[in-house]
Structure 1
Amino acid sequence: MKHFAKIVALAVTLALPVAAQDAPQSTADGARAAASALEAASARLANASSAEDRIAALTETLHAYENGLNALRDGLRRVAIRKSTLMTTFNARAGEIGSLLATMQMMERTPPQLHMLHPSGPVGTLRAGILMADIAPALDAEAATLRAQLQELQDLEVLQNSAATTLEQGLQGAQSAREELSQALSNRTDLPLRFTEDPVAMSLLLSSSETLGAFASGLAQTIDSEIAEMDTDAWNRMGRLALPVTGEILRRFNEEDAAGTRRPGLVIATRPQAMVTSPIAATIRFVGPLLDMGVVVILEPAPNVLFIMAGLDQGFGTVGQIIPEDTPVGLMGGSTPDGDALLMQANQGNAQNLSETLYLEVREGQSAVDPAAWFALGQQ
């Protein structure tokens, strides 16, 4: 009868709420899907190298690598959190789980006909049988849950161990795609020109400008001769453009930073070596180092409208070129952590590594305007 009392007490304990599963299958499946995306990107890199429109293919491939790496980082972070949750649950319920295992082992060793015997006689035995009929499903369900969680923990461990190779290959593939894209853009000669630049006027402007606003205001003086008129639908797409880089907005238009400084643009946190692209078809007005702002790229998507992007490490293109939407215009700086470092970040619950910042300013005429008028910022 002692073991029957233990069963009753254990069943009551197991009826208490347990930690939620938090969609365990989606956690592991998401990481596996991200790893598959990286493998697919690797296959696309070979095709991109031989594609007729190589720049477009390489751009798409690098997007695939960046998205795949981001997804895998996030997936591994979720895996690490899920593992921690499971281990915390197991540790907190170690006594209950031990009692469950001990009780079930004892029940297996006890002849079935003795499970229901009660010292008070047939009536007690009947009541015990009814109670046992209610308890047994709870024990079976808890045992099944425990088995599933132990299997999940094992699967997550295997997934983490296999991720290092996938991450390393993905990082190498992304770097190869960046190098090939940079070379292809440097050799590009197929883009139309809207105007030619006066190098003397540009040199004077660079040496005399003390602020970004002053430089932007003087750009019109650097045109040597107009070649083509500007044909754009930018005004029709106001408020719906995607940001030029994937990341998180740290500060918005005229929002004060920790030092009390306000800037008429967006500060976007992004990952090292992230690709920066043109949000819309535009004319390149400037590419190069400027003041203390790193490499600056200035695009003109519509007459008297400038998109100014500062803080890049590399800039692509030639002043006067008309570039299509989503054309790479540069890369952010910084160094990408290796696979082991990324795994360590994921295990610590941090998969972001948004260590680089891009400054984005929009000017209409002589005035800076809120980029939210042009870009779909949502709740970022």
Structure 2
Amino acid sequence: MRLSVLALLAGLWGAPALAQTPPPAGAEPPAPQDQRQRIEQLDAELKDSTAVQERLAAEVAALEGDRAKLNEALLDTAIRVRETEGKLDASEQRLLLLNREAADIKESLEARRAVLAEVLGGLVRLGRRPPPALMVRPDDALQSIRSAMMLGAVLPELKAETDLLASELAAQERVRQDTARERDALAELKRSLADERARTAALIEEKKNSLQQGEAALTEEKTRAAALAAEAGNVRELMERMETEISATRKAAQEAAQIEAQQGAGGGPADRLAALQNPGRLAPGVPFEEAKGLLKLPVGGAVLKGFGADDGYGGQEKGMSMGTRIEAQVASPSDGWVVYAGPFRSYGQLLIINAGGGYHILLAGMDKITVELGQFVLSGEPVGVMGRGPQLVSSAGLGTAQPILYVEFRKDGNSIDPTPWWATSESEKVRG
């Protein structure tokens, strides 16, 4: 019995150590059979990737020419991407906690290594030289009593230490199994996210191809916008000059004014709600002023700095900064027309959306913008992708290496607090 307990302890202690032991430096390379299996696995993955691309191409072809269905598919895909990114964040946090728990258990076992050696040593000695029985020669009786007294004092302590070590080893094994399951789930989520991003890219490309504006005219507009951005001293000047000198931007401003007048002339709440749910709409479903409490944040992540916070230079923040996932999808908070898309001074890649009624939304810090100048975008529609680190010059003061999205709302050229526009759950996150 004693030897079985010893074997159990030795097995429990040895199993984790063996599982974590790296292969020796002189280990032999994988056998040819292992290499063949790896090649077959890569071939299968390549075939799967080809099948996914063919399926996406068929889906996009089925949507060709149908603006409403194309927008609906794009919005649904954007929602799935946001949900998957949220699940990835939660899974990575759980994995981080499991790794910390495993490190704590390992540290505890390392600290108790000497105690473990004493326990194992005591069990070994008991197994090899059990205490003498009392029914022996008279001259051994005193020695037997002394041994029994010592054993009676030592065994409870040995049992307590054995139970503690066994529980720690069991906890270590549980954490290892939980970690393995979480890593598998994380890998599956990453595959799912890659598929959804590929679908989003295909749908965005199809929407670009369906735009009515000619490619040559669009290229000319982009060149003119870049020239104005180089000359403009600030965002307000940039917007004012673009709305008078760039035809696509001027047209967007005129359409916004017309839609505002039409919406103000009539239409009840039911009509506006129906318009907001129409994926084929070509104008904002709800006036921006009346969209308070309805908008979703453009990206998942934590708010690092809110509107009005100290900017570190003696002033106040004119917008809000959000830490995001690497390569996170950025969506438009509201309906509106793209009046600028490109680099601008310390903003990096800057996107300006005319939401109508004198309101503009600024999004900056993205690695790539996926919409075009003059394009009408829907609330929740993907408009950009974050990079792998901070893109804003001013973000250095935030003390983070993660990508940072800057969001600013403007009314008649002046910065305003965006908090009232966010949906209830989102605004609670902003308030922290």
TM class, shorter-chain normalised? 0.5 to 0.7
Give how far 1:187 is off.
Answer: 2.8
Q: Is the 8 A contact 1:270 1:354 kept in 2?
A: no
Which one of 353, 369, 384 corresponds to residue 315 of structure 1? Answer: 369
Structure number with greater Rg is 2
Give how far 1:316 is off.
Answer: 2.9
Which structure would you say has the larger RCO, counting Cα contacts within 8 Å and 6 or more residues apart?
1
TM-score by length of 1: 0.62
Q: Which residue of 1 aligns with 2:300?
A: 246
Q: Which residue of 2 aligns with 1:187?
A: 209
Give how far 1:149 is off.
Answer: 2.4
Equivalenced residue count is 313
Which one of 352, 356, 367 corresponds to residue 414 of structure 2? Answer: 367
Q: Which residue of 2 aligns with 1:216?
A: 239
Cα distance change of structure 1 residues 209 and 236 upon mapping to structure 2, 3 Å threshold: same
User: In the TM superposition, what are the counterparts of 1:83-122 in structure 2 within 5 Å?
Assistant: 83-103=102-122
Cα distance change of structure 1 residues 161 and 324 upon mapping to structure 2, 3 Å threshold: closer
- Any idea what SS the aligned residue of 1:268 has? strand
Give how far 1:277 is off.
Answer: 0.3
- Any idea what SS the aligned residue of 2:78 has? helix
Q: Is the 8 A contact 1:185 1:317 kept in 2?
A: no
Q: Which residue of 1 aligns with 2:352?
A: 298
Cα distance change of structure 1 residues 97 and 180 upon mapping to structure 2, 3 Å threshold: farther
Q: Which residue of 1 aligns with 2:74?
A: 55
Tell me the C-alpha RMSD between the 2 structures.
4.9
- Any idea what SS the aligned residue of 2:205 has? helix
Cα distance change of structure 1 residues 112 and 163 upon mapping to structure 2, 3 Å threshold: farther
Q: Percent identity?
A: 20
Q: Is the 8 A contact 2:295 2:333 kept in 1?
A: yes
Measure, in 1, the Cα distance between the counterparts of 2:293 and 2:142.
80
Structure 1 spans left out of the alignment, 5+ residues: 1-41, 191-197, 337-351
Does structure 1 residue 267 correspond to structure 2 residue 321? yes
- Any idea what SS the aligned residue of 1:90 has? helix
Deviations 1:4-47 (A, max 9, x none): xxxxxxxxxxxxxxxxxxxxxxxxxxxxxxxxxxxxxx9xx777
Letter in 2 for 1:186: K
Give how far 1:64 is off.
Answer: 4.8
Q: Which deviates further from its counterpart, 49-58 or 71-80?
A: 49-58
Give how far 1:180 is off.
Answer: 2.9
Give how far 1:279 is off.
Answer: 2.0
Q: Which residue of 1 aligns with 2:402?
A: 355
Cα distance change of structure 1 residues 134 and 378 upon mapping to structure 2, 3 Å threshold: farther
- Larger strand fraction of residues: 1
- Any idea what SS the aligned residue of 2:296 has? coil
Q: Is the 8 A contact 1:267 1:359 kept in 2?
A: yes
Q: Is the 8 A contact 2:91 2:186 kept in 1?
A: no
- Any idea what SS the aligned residue of 2:430 has? coil
Q: Is the 8 A contact 2:389 2:401 kept in 1?
A: no
Q: Is the 8 A contact 1:58 1:180 kept in 2?
A: no
Deviations 1:266-295 (A, max 9, x none): 222323322110123334333333344233
Letter in 2 for 1:312: M
- Larger helix fraction of residues: 2
- Any idea what SS the aligned residue of 2:173 has? helix
Letter in 2 for 1:56: L
User: In the TM superposition, what are the counterparts of 1:14-33 in structure 2 within 5 Å?
Assistant: none
Structure 2 spans left out of the alignment, 5+ residues: 1-48, 64-69, 135-140, 213-219, 263-283, 391-398
Measure, in 2, the Cα distance between the counterparts of 1:65 and 1:273.
13
Deviations 1:81-101 (A, max 9, x none): 222111111112222333344
Q: Is the 8 A contact 2:332 2:383 kept in 1?
A: yes
- Any idea what SS the aligned residue of 1:249 has? strand
Measure, in 2, the Cα distance between the counterparts of 1:188 and 1:68.
33
Q: Is the 8 A contact 1:287 1:318 kept in 2?
A: yes
Cα distance change of structure 1 residues 269 and 139 upon mapping to structure 2, 3 Å threshold: closer
Q: Which residue of 2 aligns with 1:193?
A: none
Cα distance change of structure 1 residues 109 and 216 upon mapping to structure 2, 3 Å threshold: farther
Measure, in 2, the Cα distance between the counterparts of 1:165 and 1:211.
44
Measure, in 2, the Cα distance between the counterparts of 1:135 and 1:85.
24
- Any idea what SS the aligned residue of 1:186 has? helix
Q: Which residue of 1 aligns with 2:430?
A: 378
Give how far 1:157 is off.
Answer: 7.2
Q: Which deviates further from its counterpart, 147-156 or 137-146?
A: 137-146
TM-score by length of 2: 0.55
Q: Is the 8 A contact 1:313 1:331 kept in 2?
A: yes
Q: Which residue of 1 aligns with 2:339?
A: 285
Cα distance change of structure 1 residues 322 and 114 upon mapping to structure 2, 3 Å threshold: farther
Letter in 2 for 1:187: N
- Any idea what SS the aligned residue of 1:232 has? coil
